[in-house]
Structure 1
């Protein structure tokens, strides 16, 4: 299958290792992976904060960038949920019937990584090895809008050497919520404190999730406590075939087409 990567702007700017991991994983499974370096933000933060008109240009660009893709796969339940759930609503708001038709079609071919592996490829064991104690945080958009269910857990349970421990109150939001954490810092921090407490109660070396936005928030809380517990995106665990340092710091660097070589 030909798979087009939708890296998302957050991963592109701050977490390039996740895109590289996705590429290695999907290629290891025998698929052709492509990266259109013309892609930009999907428009989620604009639309969600009241800039619906400005978001329309980004939505149209996304459609143009991925119109011919067989499958679009992203390491972000949040961004994929926006494409599937809010792109049609945005097109209806704009009264653009042609855009509505196109976003519905592209939404049917756009997937979050774990659901793509389980639901489309039918793969539960990706041949990964990650000998660490890990807990999983189900992110809000992936759980509530995409309904990925236990797909990430099924993948993690088949990783060699990985000891998966349940996260107490795992379905509770970590408090990030994009601009919510900026506009409501006190509430966001209180929610983060609960999440960090629950992560630490598991004794896990690593907290993983399918969205680096949430992991950035949780990881910041863990780091400020000097807890020694790291955060690692699900894609990096699934791409791993040897022992790695979960607390390794990755310098930000733009994900690029050259990175697929």
Structure 2
């Protein structure tokens, strides 16, 4: 099974370790992982800001790079949602391309969803020790129905304690350009998310979208919390045993 890894912009630029952890998880599950080295953005920032032309350019590039793969996996619900549900909106008058997009969208998955529902992974060997609370990102939860998949994987780690926060499904306030356009509202939403996460008593806040995690971590530090760790779930699932 040839699986194309779509790294995503934030992982590539801000935390490439998430990409390497994703490759490790997929390889351990028996996949042949390919990573096109000239991949770029999925086009979501432009699409959300009304720049459909740049969105179309990037979408076409993505299709050309990944169309040959059996599956495409991204460590991000947000980017996956863009590909699966919004690419077709960019090409309303191109039936041939619409069909290619439709077929590719059916083969494109967020990481934990792919591991649990396609590869049927029900246990991971991770040396992580400690307590974790999980943040449900908006795109993953509301577009892709990702809720139980990451928790199933986390709960398979015997030395990990999952501590659910209140309002786990509450938006963290990032929303890409939302946090730029409506900064005061976004900050209040981030404060609420940090409050609930800290109340859980967990040592680590985990999630499946790096945009959310960077936003939460940034707000935690500005609130004076330099102790709580913030990690992508792929990083937790691949901790080496000591």
Q: CA deviation at 1:10?
A: 1.1
Instruction: Tell me the equivalent position of 1:172.
Output: 170
Q: Supply the distance in 2 between the matched residues of 1:208 and 1:157 (Cα, whole angstroms).
A: 13
Aligned pair partner of 1:119 in 101, 117, 122: 117
Distance in 2 (CA, whole Å) between partners of 1:178 and 1:237 is: 24
Give the corresponding residue for 1:248. none
Is 1:203–2:201 an aligned residue pair? yes
Runs of 4+ with >3 A deviation: none
Whether contact under 8 Å (1:29, 1:126) holds in the other structure is no
**2:9–2:40 Cα contact (<8 Å) kept:** yes
What is the aligned partner in structure 2 of residue 5 from structure 1? Answer: 5
Relative contact order (C-alpha < 8 Å, sep 6+): which is higher?
A: 1
Partner residue in 1 for 2:229:
230
* TM-score computed with the length of structure 1 as normaliser: 0.90
Contact 1:192–1:217 under 8 Å retained in 2: yes
Report the count of equivalent residues: 241
Shift of 1:242: 2.4
The residue correspondences of 1:149-168 to structure 2 (distance < 5 A) are 149-168=147-166
The answer (yes or no) to whether the contact 1:212–1:233 under 8 Å persists in 2 is: yes
Unpaired segments ≥5 residues, structure 1: 244-261
SS at match of 1:232: strand
Name structure 2 gaps, 5 residues minimum. none
Is this contact kept in 1: 2:173–2:190, CA < 8 A? yes
Structure 1 distance, partners of 2:203, 2:223, is: 14
- Alpha-carbon distance, 1:112 to partner: 0.2
CA distance in structure 2 between the aligned counterparts of 1:126 and 1:42, rounded to whole angstroms: 29
- Residue deviations 1:55-101 (CA, integer Å, cap 9, x gap): 10111000000010111110000000000010112222xx1112211
